[in-house]
């Protein structure tokens, strides 16, 4: 059974993901069809960041996964040598 803290953290993560999805969708799909002098453009970064930010986030994710796998492999190998 999930505790109240777990439910609150889960709700926060879902809410954050929803806000990020709506922001990115508006930025990529809706904004190109609006006039460039419209006031809503001030709330969004330049369009080149629409590619740079997800690529950088993906590279960081791959880096962290690689470091985690390397650490777990190194730790298990070190533990196996001690038992010998």
Q: What is the pLDDT of residue 9?
A: 96
pLDDT of res. 83 = 66
pLDDT of residue 4: 92
Is residue 84 very low, low, confident or very high in pLDDT (cuts 50, 70, 90)? low
19: pLDDT strictly greater than 90: yes
Residue 80, pLDDT score: 75
pTM comes to 0.69
Q: Which residues of 15-46 are buried (b: 16+ CB within 10 A; e: fewer)?
A: eeeeeeeeeeeebeeebeeeeeeeeeeeebee
Sequence ranges of the domains in the chain:
1-44, 46-84
- The whole-number pLDDT of residue 14 equals 98
């Amino acid at each position: 059974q999930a505790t109240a803290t777990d439910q609150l953290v889960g709700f926060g993560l879902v809410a954050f993901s929803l806000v990020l999805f709506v922001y990115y969708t508006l930025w990529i799909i809706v904004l190109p069809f609006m006039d460039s002098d419209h006031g809503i453009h001030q709330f969004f970064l330049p369009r080149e960041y629409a590619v740079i930010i997800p690529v950088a986030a993906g590279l960081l994710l791959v880096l962290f996964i690689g470091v985690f796998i390397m650490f777990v492999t190194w730790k298990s190998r070190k533990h196996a040598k001690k038992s010998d």
